[in-house]
Amino acid sequence: MIKRYFFTLFIFFFISINLISQKNIINKIKEKINNQVITIETRRTNPNQIDIYLVNKKQIKITKNIDGENLKPKLFSLKNNLYISYINYKNQKFRLFIYNNNTDNNKLIFQSDFISSDTKILQTNNSYILFFKAKFNNNEDVFLYHSKTKKIINITKTNNNEKTFSIEYSNNNFLIHTETIKFKRKYLLNINNLKFTLLDKQKNFIYETKNKIKQINYKEQNTFLAFGDSITWGKMRMNNLEGEYHPELTYWYKAMQYFNENYGQTYAINLGIPGESSYQGLQRQEQDFTDNPATYCYIMFGTNDVNDINFSAESSAENIELIALNSINKFNMQPVLFTIPPQRHYSSIQCYKKNSEALNQLITKIGQKYNIPVIDTYKAFFEYPDGWLVLLEDVKGNHPSPTGHQVIANLIIPVVLAFKPQTPQNIQITKENIEKFTVNFERNYDFDFQNYKVVFGYSEYNLNKIYYINSPHFYFYNIYSLNPFNNNLFFRIYSVDKEGNESEPSNLYKIEFNE
């Protein structure tokens, strides 16, 4: 009986320890190396520590002497030896380490304010070269570390943040392809002397301003583009919802519903793509915006950038800034920017939280710099009375819940309604006879349009009379009897919406009755 009791207690203890261990696993990866399946687990071992374990026949804690959050392990082998590169985050600094399985030793390769998890490792004769992207002098560059000579070389040294890079190996040389916002470059690296040469440089995104085309189509004038990642796409994993695709519950759809029910007909186009970074959004913007004419665009990117640690906050902000400026200058759209909302793991993984907060601060500065409205989703979530966690999906918590999306929609509505109406366009004056002039112009199709305001007077410096009309045409009659000393009449036209916002004035026009 006593043996059975202790056996049961042992089994219970074993299961409990296993469950706790499983609960603390942040990530698990399996790779086949040298015909052997290798398992790597990233685990939280205490509130301030995340460690990486090599799990094979025996369990090895490879980060046993490395304090902080150890994340994003990558495996590679060289001459039957196993190496693991990983990112360490501590005291707001990133460090790149490589673990040598034969020596059970960790080597610090690089330390910076930011190091991307996008590392690439290539083998040479008796050594390896590690390529990585890191922040240096407030700019992201591509570096290499040579294991034999222990050298670290900055390959790019450009003025813009490097977004992506790829490596080709050919004839004892490496071809390195890199991209910034402005240029795509190709470098040749000789691995014998570690000398590199710039082979090619081509423009990437062209900085030009297209002619602004005014929208006169009702649908286009009241269309909103929702441009973003899986949050915009409508990914929600909720226990009470079937499936995970629910665009009808997103922030942009809820805002559209409100406008349709309380003002006039509006339209929205879902241009969200799950898993996409801000740079990928920038790469497809030209085509997507050309194919989908609209007047407004919501821009919500950055969540995937900070989660994968592929971009620094400055690099992601650079992408978002250009997306916003393209919206204005190339496509004549009114952008609305969003800070990225928090995710459930922000409470436990500090490097993600730190990068998110830094990016959100930069998004806010972009809005201030260019007078673009910014919806502060991050702040609104943390200030929610019932706590920010209730605004996230039940499963995983990487996306807002339906309630979270409604909170965002409620922030959007007053911002959109505060936009000025479109200025009256294509104003034409027709002289009917000596006493009557007809004025016609293009109709305002704004969904919240109210009426037109005509201001006029006998002097271009004193338009002291006001007349409100509902249609895009009106008449002026000879007013000689009212002012016998001046037969000239000057006027401008404004559009007015239901919130009382006035458009910019039209050009100043002059009518001469004495002709």
Q: What is the CATH number of the domain that holds 259?
A: 3.40.50.1110
CATH number at residue 438: 2.60.40.10
Domain-located, residue 448: yes
Q: Assign 23 a pLDDT band (cuts: 50, 70, 90).
A: low
Same domain, 397 and 447: no
Q: Assign 210 a pLDDT band (cuts: 50, 70, 90).
A: low
Closest CA to 69 of 37, 98, 47: 47
Distance of CA 184 to the CA centre of its chain: 21
Same domain, 176 and 294: no
Residue 173, CA distances (Å) to 31, 162, 189, 191 in order: 27, 22, 6, 6
Q: What percent of the chain has pLDDT over 90?
A: 67
Domain-located, residue 9: no
CA separation for the pair 101, 82 (Å, rounded): 5
For position 27, what pLDDT does the model report? Answer: 86
Same domain, 188 and 241: no
Domain-located, residue 244: yes
The residue among 204, 226, 246 that closes a domain is 204
Q: What percent of the chain has pLDDT over 70?
A: 91
Same domain, 200 and 229: no
Name the more confident of 170 and 148.
Answer: 148
For position 208, what pLDDT does the model report? Answer: 58
Same domain, 332 and 285: yes
- Which structural domain, as residue segments, surrounds residue 347? 218-417
For position 485, what pLDDT does the model report? Answer: 59
The residue among 360, 393, 417 that closes a domain is 417
Name the more confident of 10 and 33.
Answer: 33
Tens-place pLDDT, residues 333-355: 999 999 999 988 776 788 888 88
Question: Is residue 30 predicted with pLDDT exceeding 50?
Answer: yes
The arithmetic mean of pLDDT across residues 79-106, rounded, is: 91
Question: Is residue 236 predicted with pLDDT exceeding 90?
Answer: yes
For position 9, what pLDDT does the model report? Answer: 42
Same domain, 234 and 269: yes
Tens-place pLDDT, residues 248-266: 999 999 999 999 999 999 9
Neighbours of 249 (CB within 10 A): 20
Looking at every residue in the chain, the average pLDDT score rounds to 89
Domain-located, residue 186: yes
Same domain, 192 and 277: no
Q: Which of 141-150, 280-289, 388-397, 450-459 has the lowest mean pLDDT?
A: 388-397
Most confident of 55-69, 102-116, 126-140, 251-265: 251-265
For position 382, what pLDDT does the model report? Answer: 93
| Helix orientation angle between 350-370 and 313-329, rounded to the nearest 10 degrees | 30
Q: End-to-end CA distance of the chain: give it in Å, rounded.
A: 119
Task: Give the burial class of 186: count Cβ atoms within 10 A of its Cβ; 0-12 exposed, 13-18 middle, 19 or more buried.
Answer: middle
Q: Assign 212 a pLDDT band (cuts: 50, 70, 90).
A: low
Question: Is residue 482 predicted with pLDDT exceeding 70?
Answer: no
Q: What DSSP string describes 330-360?
A: TT--EEEEEPPPP-GGGGT-HHHHHHHHHHH
Same domain, 411 and 435: no
Domain-located, residue 377: yes
The three-class DSSP label of residue 233 is: helix
Domain-located, residue 108: no
Domain-located, residue 56: no
Contacts by 84-92 with C-beta closer than 8 Å and gap 24+? Answer: 84/40, 84/52, 84/54, 85/109, 85/119, 85/121, 85/130, 86/52, 87/115, 87/117, 87/309, 87/351, 88/63, 89/350, 89/351, 89/354, 92/354
Same domain, 268 and 302: yes
Query: Structurally, how many domains does the chain consist of?
Result: 3
Q: Assign 33 a pLDDT band (cuts: 50, 70, 90).
A: confident
For position 217, what pLDDT does the model report? Answer: 73
Same domain, 324 and 273: yes
Closest CA to 301 of 286, 287, 315: 315
The residue among 389, 417, 445 that closes a domain is 417
For position 11, what pLDDT does the model report? Answer: 43
Domain-located, residue 19: no
Same domain, 322 and 401: yes
Same domain, 245 and 301: yes
The three-class DSSP label of residue 470 is: coil
